[in-house]
Amino acid sequence: MNFFEGKRVLITGANGFLGSHILERLLEFNADLYIILRESSDLWRIEDYLGSVNVYYADIRDLDDVSNCIRKIKPEIIFHMAAYGVDARKNNIYEAIDTNIIGTVNLLHAIGKIGCEKFVNTGTSMQYGNKVGLIDENSNYTPNNIYGSTKAASTILAHQIANEMDVDITTIIPFGIFGEKEGSHKLFTQVILSILHHKEVRLTPCFQQRDYCYVENIVNGFIMAANTDKTRDMILNIGSGITFPLRYYIELIVKEMNMEAKINYGALEYRKNDLWNPRVSVDKIKKVLGWHPEISLEEGIKKTVEWYKNNYYYYDVRGR
């Protein structure tokens, strides 16, 4: 029997990009799966799986809401994926604080009363900010946007509270992720959809460096962290460990799509406070968990492009 079979597993943010992939994987493992969603959630990523999971509608910003759900679910494992600000179009400071900080504290407060085997928390590379040199788990948090700041604060608070409550917590900090079902605001999605619709792709000069890793590799890291007590109170960076200029990824996408592409580099200015060269060390997660990217960048792009070619219509709805 696999580790997750029959386990009561709760996912917050299961309708998001990474959360939806975690959900799919756990369904393959026959977990007893529960998800907490807001009433207003767009469920397009997981609509085919709703009949196979237990759905609770609640707002993690509301302590009573969360506590009621946790008492009923009694989760053994929690994947905390819910966050506000992943989409740069969402920049309400108070909602970021309420969701990323208060929401995380509420969850931990609720499980402190019933116990939980494992709490897998999600960070962001944004909490490190711009750094010169390699970023490892001992690097200081110097975020340069509200999303990064609130995720840095929630990481610190989550580990402090979990330790006080004797909860086994692990925070995984992903760097660049790409794959099927990303939001339309993300680079890979923008490029692919624009080419599919024969539109000009307007970009910055795209010389900033990025570490992109295919989503299923990232999911592997989360699953492995939940299935061990070796990562108690650990923070683990995850990514490919290799950076390339954004142009490199774009050219790989164009090559894989094999369509006429109108790429206009320099049409846009670089974003204010953009990360320039986030170089991540993944030595720790490799050493502790034996994790490594199993799917190459090229194969990941191939899978991603194929999915978008067959499912581009999902993005006809505004805001996705």
Identify the pLDDT of residue 104. 98
Same domain, 225 and 309: no
- pLDDT confidence of 62, banded at 50, 70, 90? very high
| Nearest to 167, CA basis, from 80, 61, 236 | 80
Identify the pLDDT of residue 89. 74
- The enclosing H or E element of 63 equals helix 63-73
Q: Please write the tens of the pLDDT for every residue from 275-295.
A: 788 899 999 999 999 999 999
Identify the pLDDT of residue 278. 85
Helix (H, G, I), strand (E, B) or coil at 299: helix
- The answer to whether 291 and 228 are in contact (CB under 8 A) is no
In a domain, 312, yes or no: yes
Same domain, 170 and 80: yes
Task: Please say if the pLDDT value at position 273 is more than 80.
Answer: no
Summary mean pLDDT of the chain: 95
- pLDDT confidence of 90, banded at 50, 70, 90? confident
Identify the pLDDT of residue 1. 58
| Nearest to 34, CA basis, from 12, 17, 18 | 12
What is the Cα–Cα distance from 276 to 4, expressed in whole angstroms? 39
Residues 6+ apart with CB under 8 A from 126: 143, 144, 145, 147, 148, 151, 275
| Nearest to 237, CA basis, from 125, 73, 83, 318 | 125
Task: Please say if the pLDDT value at position 318 is more than 90.
Answer: no
- The answer to whether 297 and 169 are in contact (CB under 8 A) is no
Same domain, 132 and 156: yes
- The answer to whether 77 and 10 are in contact (CB under 8 A) is yes
Q: How do 118-122 and 77-80 pair as beta strands?
A: parallel
In a domain, 55, yes or no: yes
Q: What percent of the chain is predicted at pLDDT more than 90?
A: 91
In a domain, 288, yes or no: no
Q: Please write the tens of the pLDDT for every residue from 176-208.
A: 999 999 999 999 999 999 999 999 999 999 999
More confident residue, 109 or 86: 109
Same domain, 114 and 193: no
In a domain, 192, yes or no: yes
Q: What percent of the chain is predicted at pLDDT more than 70?
A: 100
Domain that holds residue 58: 8-177+215-238
Which stretches of 32-168 are assigned E, i.e. beta strand?
32-37, 54-57, 77-80, 118-122, 134-135
Task: Please say if the pLDDT value at position 272 is more than 90.
Answer: no
Same domain, 169 and 65: yes
What CATH number does residue 188 fall under?
Answer: 3.90.25.10
Task: Please say if the pLDDT value at position 111 is more than 80.
Answer: yes
- The answer to whether 269 and 205 are in contact (CB under 8 A) is no
Q: Please write the tens of the pLDDT for every residue from 1-59.
A: 589 999 999 999 999 999 999 999 999 999 999 999 999 999 999 999 999 999 999 99
The Cβ-side half-sphere exposure at 275, using a 13 Å CA radius, reads 28
Give the residue carrying structure tokens 């080419």: 195
Residues 6+ apart with CB under 8 A from 115: none
What is the Cα–Cα distance from 148 to 130, expressed in whole angstroms? 11
Q: Please write the tens of the pLDDT for every residue from 118-146.
A: 999 999 999 999 998 999 999 999 999 99
Q: What is the pTM of this model?
A: 0.96
